[in-house]
Amino acid sequence: MRDVDPWMVLLVLALLSAGLTWLARRYALQRQLLDHPGERRSHRVATPRGGGIAIVVTVLAGTAAGAFLYPAAAPQLAVFAAGLVMVAGIGWWDDHRPLPAVRRLLVHMLASALLAGLAWQATGNALQALLLFLVATALVNLWNFMDGINGIASGYALVGALSLAVVMPMPFALIAVVVAAGCLGFLPFNFPRARIFMGDVGSGALGYLMAALAGLGSVVTDIHWLALLVPLSAFIVDAGFTLSSRMLTGQRWMEPHTQHVYQRAVKAGSSHTRVTGVYILLGLVGAAVLAALVPLPPLQQAGVAVAWGALLACLWAVMRVRLRNY
């Protein structure tokens, strides 16, 4: 079998994602599937939602092609795709008719369990599987909370997917390239001006996909799992610490709000483009840190990853204080 050119995969699937996003926008407008401005939102005009379905369908198309090209991996790819369909499906439903948070969470946990089962099958390591289950469940929900301004969720995921593709061997890196292609095709419709929002169908799916890529990296490389989360750390820190603070103060943390640092920065007067650019820059720095960690022993990789997370946590705390009035 001929080698697959990852650049060609990126181009073809990005074009597919762009076409699907255009169709999703037409569908949302016809169905009046709109996000309206409000106190807990960061946009000022009614905007179609649900464009993330384009990313999901693109990844599923790439997964089907991968199963055809690599038949031995077809069962694992089918399980991965099943989890993606579950997360995206409950998100699509919620975009059309809001569902209770507990029902969505149960579906997220079931999909995360499928990923954990793949890791357990591949490594026989129950602890590694449990960690992937927890990370996947968390990222599905964290990505949803971080999808609040133009381009931030898809742009940060694009950087994260490409950074993980760089450190994984072929053909496993192709899965990350497929995810990056889905984000790349969607991004021009959402940034710098949002003609369509991703919706829960896309944000939850991206969290699942980022967890799947990190889990895959922990299986097919010798990189410590904490290091694999470095390119995703800005989202993990902002969402994790913000939600933790809401829990500690007795607020309903699952409800929509505008208390994340990125949301407060927009309320303070920064543009969506600037704030998204800062997070993408943090993702690029995280990608460089991950690439630099590859030659190090796993224990040193973990130490640097923890230090990077601590640095971001300090930055979050400083910005939280500076933006406390917003």
Q: What are phi and psi of 284, to 5 degrees?
A: -65, -40
CA distance 207 to 6: 22
- Annotated binding residue 200: yes
Task: Using the structure block, give the residue that is written with the tokens 């037409």.
Answer: 26
Q: SS3 for 193?
A: coil
CA distance 103 to 99: 7
* DSSP 8-state secondary structure symbol assigned to residue 44: S
CA distance 24 to 154: 16
E strand or H helix at 35, and its extent?
strand 34-35
E strand or H helix at 241, and its extent?
helix 233-248
Dihedral of the alpha carbons of 20, 106, 147, 237, in degrees to the nearest 10: -140
Going from the C-alpha of 79 to that of each of 48, 112, 190, the distances in angstroms are 31, 11, 30
Q: Which of 27, 88, 94 is nearest to 59 (CA)?
A: 88
CA distance 6 to 244: 39
CA distance 95 to 206: 15
Cα maximum dimension of the chain: 60
Which residue stretches of 39-151 are H helix? 53-69, 74-96, 101-123, 126-146
Binding site for Mg(2+): what residues are annotated? Answer: 144, 200
Binding site: what residues are annotated? Answer: 144, 200
